[in-house]
């Protein structure tokens, strides 16, 4: 083990078919998506996982287990059409409230989005538990602060979100192009056009600011 080649030029990397086997093994072993960098870190020096990913994908095309791209990462997942066989392994997920699913959709389609923006779209204050629940599910995380007065915190969806909903990237959200074309994803200045339904925007910004400071450091 200690004799592992340290100098990449000392030993040439394994041939591609062997690298493919290695990537296959590493990805199979993991329940979570792995980025190319993470994969490479596990392979012998000089291997290039990106190179073999395509052929590995092709190999599992149409199989019961498939290679799925999740953001910058990859994971093996069972084919969606065979879900019915796995009823017993099904994770009984707590049904999300309508508020939670709507909030999730708004974050996914409008990200990065502030709490005030979510409230404007839904026309109702975001109740305390909703965002917490989504963050706890690891579907939503806190993004960078918006560079506007109050520097409100923003929310974005995570890789786990993509993984859960079988999306390669947030760009693959269903209907995204149509919604954008219809102008429904633009944030329009709404001052004076609509009633102010909740007055706690400042407090809100403050509160989420405090949260962000507590938990996350953006750069």
Partner 1 sequence: MTRVPYLTPVPDPDPAPPLPGLEPPDHASDRAAARADEVLVVDVEGFEGPLDLLLNLSRMQKVDLLQISVLELADQYLAFVDQARALRIELAADYLVMAAWLAFLKSRLLLPPDPEAEGPSAEEMAAHLAFQLERLNAMREAAARLMARDRLGQDRFARGAPEVVTRQRQVAWQAGLIDLMRAYARLRTRDEFRPYAFDRRDVFTMEQALDRVRGLIGFAGDWTQLAAFLPEGWEADPQRRRSATAATFAATLELARQGRLEISQSASFAPITIRRRPE
Q: Where does this chain bind its own copies (CB under 8 A)? A: 1, 4, 20-26, 28-31, 41-43, 62-65, 76, 78-79, 82, 84-89
**74 interacts with, out of its own copies, partner 1, none, CB within 5 to 8 A per kind:** none
Q: Which is nearer to partner 1, 139 or 152 (CB)?
A: 139
Contact window for partner 1 (CB under 8 A) among 7-15, 43-51, 105-113, 201-209: 105-113
Q: How far apart, in Å, do the first and last CA atoms of the chain sit?
A: 37
Query: Do the beta carbons of residue 156 and residue 140 sit within 8 Å?
Result: yes
Query: Do the beta carbons of residue 53 and residue 74 sit within 8 Å?
Result: yes
Work out whether 78 is an interface residue with partner 1 (CB under 8 A). yes
Query: Do the beta carbons of residue 175 and residue 76 sit within 8 Å?
Result: no
Q: Which is nearer to its own copies, 65 or 184 (CB)?
A: 65
Phi, psi of 68 (to 5 degrees): -115, 140
Q: Which is nearer to partner 1, 8 or 64 (CB)?
A: 64
Chain residues 178-197 in contact with partner 1, contact rule CB under 8 A: 179-188, 190-197
Q: Tell me how many residues contact partner 1 (CB under 8 A).
A: 72
**Residue 166 — left, alpha, or beta (φ > 0 → left; ψ -120 to 50 → alpha)?**
left
Residue given tokens 């001052």 in the structure block: 191
């Amino acid at each position: 083990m200690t004799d592992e080649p340290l100098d990449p030029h000392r030993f040439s990397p394994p041939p591609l078919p062997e690298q493919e086997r290695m990537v296959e093994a590493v990805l199979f072993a993991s329940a979570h998506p792995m980025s190319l960098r993470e994969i490479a870190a596990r392979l012998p020096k000089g291997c290039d996982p990106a190179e073999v990913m395509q052929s590995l994908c092709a190999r599992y095309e149409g199989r019961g287990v498939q290679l799925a791209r999740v953001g910058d990462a990859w994971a093996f997942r069972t084919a969606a059409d065979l879900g019915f066989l796995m009823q017993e392994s099904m994770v009984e997920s707590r049904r999300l409230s309508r508020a939670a699913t709507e909030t999730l959709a708004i974050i996914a389609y409008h990200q990065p989005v502030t709490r005030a923006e979510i409230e404007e779209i839904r026309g109702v204050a975001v109740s305390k538990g909703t965002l917490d629940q989504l963050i706890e599910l690891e579907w939503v995380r806190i993004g960078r602060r918006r560079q506007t007065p109050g520097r409100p915190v923003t929310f974005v969806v995570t890789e786990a979100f993509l993984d859960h909903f079988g999306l390669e990237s947030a760009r693959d959200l269903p209907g995204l192009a149509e919604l954008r074309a219809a102008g429904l994803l633009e944030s329009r200045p709404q001052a004076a056009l609509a009633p102010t339904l909740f007055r706690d925007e400042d407090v809100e910004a403050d509160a989420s600011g405090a949260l962000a400071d507590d938990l996350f450091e953006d750069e």
